[in-house]
Every structure is written in C-alpha cells, then in structure tokens.
C-alpha cells in the first residue's frame, strides 16, 4: 500500500479539528512544501557542482529525501483542503530560490550551502519542530513519518554546519545578509498564521537566530515585522 495513503488514513481516523483549522494547517504545510521543493532542486544542483564523492552522494540522497517530503506534504494538503490553499510566503520563497539559483549558476557551492543547508534549513527545522509539536498536541498521529522527516532534516542541517566549519567564510558568504533578510520577511508573512495558532513569531525568530552558527551571528537581524 502507498505509504502516504496510510499516513492520510491515519490522520483521517485521528483528526478531530474544524475546517478553519484544517485550512490554516494546510497553509502552513503549503509554506513548508515550497521549501521542500526549493531544497529538492537546489540539492540536485549542488550535487552536480560538488567535487567530493562523499558529499556528492549525500546531496543526491538529500535531493531524493526532499522530493519525498514534498510529496508527503502535498498529499496532506490535498486531504485537508481538496481545493488547495495559498502559501502565505510564496513571494519570499521565490526570491530566496532565485538567490540560490544564482549561486549555483556562478559555481558558488559554498554560498549555496550557506543559503540552503545552513540558513533555510535552520529556519525549516524551527518551523517543522513547532509544527510537529502542534500535530502531537492535536493527537493527529503519523509519528513514524514525522520522526523520519525530522531526522533527515537534522542531517541536512548538520551537513551544512559541518561544511561551514571546514571552509573559510569568504566574501561569497556576503549573501548571508540577503538570505537572512528574506527569512525575516518569511516570518513576517507567516505572522497571521502564527497568531491563529497562538504562537509568537518573535519567539520563532529568536530561536532561529539562537541556532545560527557563530560565523553567521554578525549577519543576524532583529525581527522587524512590517505589519
Ligand atoms: Fe525536507
Ligand atoms: Fe532538508
């Protein structure tokens, strides 16, 4: 049986939430889905640039894992809201992807890893772990797949942190300021959703900043909501 179908059936059996909440969960998942798609394509481009066999293998594997995460979230969104939903941070994620495409087009693997595995996945880890906690609280279940996705995401982020340690932070990493500014905009776009779930956006942002590696702390920004 299709694994994703089993997941959705389990959700169906256990989920006891209203339609408005389903829509908001789907919107949050839609944001996570957009990040998975960006990561899937970016890791594949990084693998082509990478000269180290072991790292290349990791990146190919990461790209496959991201595709699986995207397919899982897509199925969950369709189940929650068959008509689909909009991603509240679509524009910012597209801008972020443009930055990442730019780095690989310029053969700048280092800046690409800082952008994807270190910063975007650092933010993704915060977003995903809070989402996971919310799912747990609502008794929705699908623990096995949640654990698998979280563990894979951790390994992607760890890869980025290790890469950062092994390489000197060069001028190429000046992109860090642009990456972090867009992360700030993403949090701002998600603010309405966070409020619906009684979550504090500033808390997410502080957690994200706290987890930034030392080399990037100087680029860290305060959270400035535009609304
Ligand atoms: Fe992922
Ligand atoms: Fe990832």
**Alpha carbon of 11 to ligand 1 centroid (Å):** 20
**Alpha carbon of 125 to ligand 1 centroid (Å):** 9
Whether 33 contacts 74, CB under 8 Å: yes
Give the mean pLDDT of 27-54.
96
**Which of 13-27, 58-72, 78-92 ranks highest by mean pLDDT?**
58-72
Rounded to whole angstroms, the Cα distance separating 4 from 12 reads 12
The pLDDT of residue 20: 86
pTM: 0.88
pLDDT in tens, 140-166: 666 778 888 989 999 999 999 999 888
Ligand approaching nearest to the C-alpha of 160? 2
Burial 116-135 (b: 16+ CB within 10 A, else e): bbbbbbbbbbbbbebbeeeb
Rounded to whole angstroms, the Cα distance separating 100 from 117 reads 11
**Alpha carbon of 127 to ligand 2 centroid (Å):** 12
Residue 127 has pLDDT above 60, yes or no: yes
Whether 59 contacts 43, CB under 8 Å: yes
Rounded to whole angstroms, the Cα distance separating 136 from 147 reads 11
Residue 11 has pLDDT above 60, yes or no: no
Tell me the helices (H) and strands (E) count for the chain, helix number first: 10, 0
Provide the pLDDT confidence category of residue 72 given band limits of 50, 70 and 90: very high
**Alpha carbon of 39 to ligand 1 centroid (Å):** 7
The pLDDT of residue 104: 95
The pLDDT of residue 225: 65
Ligand approaching nearest to the C-alpha of 32? 1
**Which of 135-149, 168-182, 190-204 ranks highest by mean pLDDT?**
190-204
Mean pLDDT of the chain: 85
Residue 195 has pLDDT above 80, yes or no: yes
CB atoms within 10 A of CB 173: 22
**Alpha carbon of 200 to ligand 1 centroid (Å):** 23
Rounded to whole angstroms, the Cα distance separating 33 from 54 reads 27
Provide the pLDDT confidence category of residue 1 given band limits of 50, 70 and 90: very low
Fill in the DSSP letter of residue 51: -
The pLDDT of residue 161: 92
pLDDT in tens, 80-92: 898 889 999 999 9
The domains found in the chain, sorted by start residue, are 3-221 (1.10.620.20)
Residues with CB under 5 A from ligand 1 (ion): 36, 66, 69
**Alpha carbon of 139 to ligand 2 centroid (Å):** 25
Provide the pLDDT confidence category of residue 130 given band limits of 50, 70 and 90: confident
**Which of 176-185, 207-216, 218-227 ranks highest by mean pLDDT?**
176-185
């Amino acid at each position: 049986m299709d694994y994703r179908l089993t997941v959705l059936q389990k959700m169906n059996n256990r989920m006891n939430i209203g339609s408005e909440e389903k829509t908001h969960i789907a919107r949050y998942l839609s944001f996570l889905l957009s990040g998975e798609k960006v990561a899937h394509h970016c890791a594949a481009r990084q693998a082509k640039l990478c000269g180290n066999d072991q790292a290349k293998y990791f990146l190919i594997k990461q790209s496959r894992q991201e595709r699986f995460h995207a397919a899982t979230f897509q199925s969950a969104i369709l189940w929650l809201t068959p008509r689909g939903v909009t991603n509240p941070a679509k524009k910012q994620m597209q801008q972020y992807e443009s930055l990442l495409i730019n780095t690989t087009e310029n053969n700048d693997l280092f800046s690409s890893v800082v952008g994807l595995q270190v910063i975007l996945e650092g933010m993704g880890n915060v977003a995903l772990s809070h989402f996971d906690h919310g799912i747990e609280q609502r008794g929705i279940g699908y623990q096995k797949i949640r654990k698998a996705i979280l563990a894979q995401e951790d390994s992607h982020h760890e890869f980025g942190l290790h890469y950062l340690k092994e390489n000197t932070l060069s001028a190429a990493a000046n992109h860090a300021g642009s990456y972090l500014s867009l992360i700030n905009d993403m949090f701002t776009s998600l603010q309405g959703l966070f409020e619906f779930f009684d979550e504090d956006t500033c808390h997410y942002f502080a957690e994200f900043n706290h987890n930034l590696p030392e080399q990037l702390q100087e680029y860290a920004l305060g959270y400035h909501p535009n609304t």
